[in-house]
Amino acid sequence: MDILHRFNEGYNWMLSKGDPRVQSWPLMETPVPLLTLLVLYLVMVYQGPRAMAPHKPLPLTSVLVAYNLALVCLSAYMFYEFLVTSILSGYSFKCQPVDYSNDPLAIRMANVCWWYFFSKIIEFLDTAFFILRKKNNQVTFLHVYHHCTMPINWWLGVKYVAGGQVFVMTILNCFVHIVMYSYYGLSALGPHMKKYLWWKRYLTVLQLSQFFAVIVHTGYNMTTNCSFPTGFNYAVFIYAITLVLLFSNFFKNTYSKSKED
């Protein structure tokens, strides 16, 4: 009982340190709704292929084209909002503390941070569509790891640091997602589009480049006197390294000379 009491005290203390501006926003009051969605996601990953085993793959061409187009538009909107709001706010690319005020620009930045977090929930559908189309080979450890960890990272980001220097990585990632979901949308049109999608490997290169950029940017802030929370810098730095390792392994296994031969 003493352990439970201490845990409850620690949990309540953690929530009390959150940004009061986002307290009433959807999914932000406590982590329970997000954790519930993550459990349901993992159940889908585990049970989905089994449930689809006796069935034929679903033809989802129209749905996939519409879905990917919607994510291109959402990514473009977030890219615009992060870029314009950071410029209007006079953000520094070297070190930018979080503005916790109720200034309209500070609220605008926090709002687009929430949309960025919520986009990671929407992207659970990436996995659902793979399973419904029986593309189970696409549901790799890298895929599931990335889709599980990003919502957690960004729930914490919105809850505690909705703004500040995270705008650098979000601008990069939104740009990558514009390109990535454009590729997926074109690919969904059918095999006849394959000849136009020769640039797939360069999409992975672009993804790796953004991770390296995040490592450099965050590493710089870890070695300077920056008023952005140090713990978040270390967490982002370590997380970006894990993505570099996993995406590098994917690139090697997918595009190595032996695979091409």
Domain extent listing, the chain:
58-197
How far is the C-alpha of 231 from the C-alpha of 84, rounded, in Å?
27
- What is the pTM for the complete model shown? 0.94
Residues annotated as catalytic (active site), given as ranges? 146
Q: What is the pLDDT of residues 196-210, one digit of tens each?
A: 899 989 999 999 999
Q: What is the pLDDT of residues 164-175, one digit of tens each?
A: 999 999 999 999
Task: Check residue 256 and give its pLDDT.
Answer: 77
Q: Does residue 258 have a pLDDT over 50? A: no
Q: Does residue 225 have a pLDDT over 60? A: yes
What band does 245 get if pLDDT is binned at 50, 70 and 90? very high
Q: Both tokens of residue 63? A: 């749905």
**CA atoms within a 13 Å half-sphere pointing along the CA-CB vector of 131:** 20
Task: Check residue 7 and give its pLDDT.
Answer: 84
Residues contacting residue 190 through CB under 8 Å, at least 6 positions apart? 61
Per cent of the chain over pLDDT 70 is 98
What band does 261 get if pLDDT is binned at 50, 70 and 90? very low
Q: Does residue 193 have a pLDDT over 80? A: yes
How far is the C-alpha of 252 from the C-alpha of 254, rounded, in Å?
6
Task: Check residue 182 and give its pLDDT.
Answer: 96
What band does 194 get if pLDDT is binned at 50, 70 and 90? confident
Task: Check residue 195 and give its pLDDT.
Answer: 86
Per cent of the chain over pLDDT 90 is 81
